[in-house]
Amino acid sequence: MYSDKKNVLQLVALLKAHGITHIVLSPGSRNAPLIHSFASDSDFTCYSVVDERSAGFFALGVIQALNRPVAVCCTSGTAALNLGPAVAEAFYQQLPLLVITADRPPAWTGQMDGQTIPQTGLFGKLVCHAVQLPEISNPEEEWHCNRLINEAILGLDNQEKGPAHINIPLSEPLFGFSTASLPAVRVIRRTKPLTILPDEAGYRKRFRSFSRRMIIVGQLPPGNGLADVLKRLASDQNTVVLADHLANIPAGDYSRFDVVLRTASEKELQQLAPELVITLGGHVVSKRLKQFIRSAPACELWQLSPAGEVTDTFQLVTDIVQSDPETFLRSLAEVPSDEMLALPHNNSTSNDHESETFVERWKSACERTTTPHPDYSDLYAVGMLLNNMPENSSLQLANSQSVYLSQLFSVSDSVYRFCNRGTNGIEGSISTAVGYAAATKRLAFLLTGDLSFFYDMNGLWNRHLSPNLRILLNNNGGGGIFDTLPGLNQSEMLTGYITANHTTTAKGWAEQRGFTYLSASNAEELQKQLSLLLNPESDSPVILEVFTTIEKNSLEIKSYYRQQETKDYE
């Protein structure tokens, strides 16, 4: 049986019709009509997560696992505000999160009634579409409600994906559940936009006119379909493709490009500078790459933007190309016979390297970098995990040190890679990993630091902890990354307020939540415990807490970069 509320019936029926059948539910009385209706319908897969902040990030993990829209539903008041961080992450990571917030009737806003805040347009510009449903009392309001729900659902994927918000006021009585079936509802659908071919605007000819071309690939979901076409483009001696792990494409010959940019001389940086830059995807992890391109004398920068939004990350954009990346790149890779004779110009910045192609310069620079071989530290633990990742597993990276250090090591192309880089916050990394593990059969790893882990401990407070979940927690007793930042590491307030030093351990909480708990305090213990963390046959989730120190971690990281700086780049 379903709720008797007509706006709830329209919402439930339309979600089912649009194929949005995975729902993360947080408890409450105002959203009880929604909870009851979703959970009573066997077509919906429901997850119960009490903490709304965790619930939002849990839903993002489910989206990553399924590659389809997922809804999160909460009660009124501050519960809705707690979804804010996940909504922001979904917006900047372009994930189709449908936020459903129950509300008091509008007349009670601002009247000192419990759990009542202004919820209309609560998330502002951080959602692609927001609607407030009417409480249906006549056919016109039912038509209006139906249209608004369709609009919000269509807003999840309007050329580019992102979150949408449905606020649903519900008057008392709330607990009538006597409706036997859902109503027949009108479903509005949208056709896909026509693709734009680059030759129509002369892009293919312009592309081949440059002798130093660089394609920068930001964060993309696994299975993005771009690996083959990017490989074809990279086979050209004038085209370099740079991508970090989160692009989910093979890294090729340039996996440690960030190390090159950190350690190369000014002369070599000039030799590595591109004339044309093409950017696509989401955020790029490397701050050095952003600084390098911003200061490079690039002639043109083309940003591939399916929705046509102006994104000028590198402060050099000349063209916003409104096309899906795959269509555009495939057309660039196809060279008609009449263009085969067109020779690109050569504006080499060094007489010593006139005979060396752009690709050869980059390959030579990257080949001189080496994989870290540190002593026991966070860097050591990251390398141990990434060098032993099982094939066809998945890797969630917490922000800060975890995602940065991971870029120094290779990861198998069969491993799916994720990180909440939309807003780069430390909150929600556990919740996202738990949600992902709950919705996939892949072995799901989370690499996290201590502040990120303890900030999101409520992410383990639900009944959806899958035995395929594996967590490697680097516990160095504080925010270790701050100790590596020049200038900040001289602050007298560093230890107490910036790195937030602590003596907390995950052992008690992890064991109480049913994890197999492992720990290591030296290299020998880590090597022994890692095999247990990697074991796919465990009947419970596993956490390995690696105890290190901030001082040793900083020393190993600085030592690695000093070794790279001593190499002969000239």
Instruction: Write down the pLDDT at residue 568.
Output: 52
Question: How many Å apart are CA 83 and CA 104, to the nearest integer?
Answer: 18
Q: What was the pLDDT predicted at 9?
A: 97
pLDDT over 70 (residue 341): no
Does any domain span residue 264?
A: yes
Residue with tokens 């060396």: 356
Which positions ≥6 away from 434 have C-beta within 8 Å?
58, 61, 459, 460, 462, 464, 465, 466, 469
**Beta partners for residue 300, in sequence order:** 276
Return the minimum-mean-pLDDT range out of 184-198, 383-397, 426-440: 184-198
CB-based contact 432:394 (threshold 8 Å)? no
Contact between 468 and 443 under an 8 Å Cβ cutoff? The reply is yes
User: Per mean pLDDT, which range of 345-349, 523-527, 546-550 is the poorest?
Assistant: 345-349
Count H helices, E strands: the chain?
20, 19
Single residue among 169, 185, 212 that ends a domain in this structure = 169
Hunting for tokens 């230890």 — which residue is that? Answer: 495
* Structural domain includes residue 394: yes
Q: Say if residue 348 is in the same domain as residue 389.
A: no
The model's confidence at residue 350, banded by pLDDT at 50, 70 and 90, is: very low
| Range of weakest confidence among 132-141, 254-263, 316-325, 472-481 | 472-481
332 plus 401 within the same structural domain = no
CATH number at residue 302: 3.40.50.1220
Among 320, 335, 367, the domain boundary falls at 367
Same domain, 158 and 85: yes
Q: If we measure between CA atoms, which residue out of 166, 153, 146 comes closest to residue 19?
A: 153
Amino acid at 332: L
362 with 254: CB under 8 angstroms?
yes
Distance of alpha carbon 473 from alpha carbon 232, whole angstroms: 39
533 inside domain: yes
Beta strand pairing call for 213-217 and 276-280: parallel
Full domain range(s) for residue 109? 6-169
Summarize pLDDT for 117-155 with one digit per residue, the tens: 889 999 999 999 999 999 999 999 999 999 999 999 999
Q: Note whether residue 125 is domain-resident.
A: yes
272 and 150, same structural domain? no
**Does one domain contain both 286 and 362?**
yes
429 shares a domain with 355: no
The contacts of residue 363 (CB under 8 Å, 6+ apart) are 253, 254
The total number of structural domains in the chain stands at 3
Residues 148 and 243 in one domain: no
Minimal CA–CA distance to 262: which of 483, 489, 568, 564? 564
Q: How confident is the model at residue 311 (pLDDT cuts 50, 70, 90)?
A: confident
Is residue 514 a part of any domain in this protein?
yes
Report which of residues 59 and 331 the model is more confident about.
59
HEC-encoded secondary structure of 469-489? EEEEEEECCCCHHHHHCCCHH
pLDDT at residue 109, rounded to an integer: 81
Q: Taking the model in full, what pTM does it have?
A: 0.90
Q: What CATH number corresponds to the domain at position 32?
A: 3.40.50.970
Note the pLDDT tens digit of each residue in 33-61: 999 999 999 999 999 999 999 999 999 99
Give the pLDDT band (50/70/90) at residue 297: confident
